[in-house]
Amino acid sequence: MSQSHRDKISEALKGKHQSPSTQFKKGHQPFITKPWLGKKFSKETRKRMSLSRIGKPNFRYKTMGRFRNSNGYILIYSPFHPFNDRKKYVLEHRLVMEKKLGRYLKKSEEVHHINGITDDNRPENLKLFNSKSKHIQFHKLNAKF
């Protein structure tokens, strides 16, 4: 490669990312991959930047509040419930039974769907068992062979 060709390349690469050996020479600015780091933004700009990552404007956003899990049970977003999971959701049939009884359910108590449809959470379709073992016994007695 000729010297003139090398000079043209070095002129074109000025200010661009260079090898680590030349990157930290005196007076040379290091290559910055995230130019917004260290900069101060207005409150509105910070809000807009955060909304672009999460929430309704984002294409990956799913409505927070109610969804069906892989087993067919419906979960409700309930951040202040004492027995919510780590994502702050509670099974809807437990919430319906709590409302019917007027108290929180114990962790040991089980709620049974009488018709077997897991997303049918009407109060008349739910039955409460004191423990998991009582729930299993009920299923064994009523098993259809």
Q: What does the pLDDT profile of the chain (145 residues) look like in tens digits?
A: 788 877 877 777 776 555 555 555 555 555 545 555 566 767 777 666 554 444 555 555 556 678 888 899 999 988 899 999 988 899 999 999 999 999 999 999 999 999 999 999 999 999 999 999 999 999 998 876 5
Are 116 and 139 in contact by the 8 Å Cβ rule? The answer is: no
Paired strand residues for 127: 112
The model's pTM: 0.56
Nearest to 113 by CA among 133, 89, 91, 144: 91
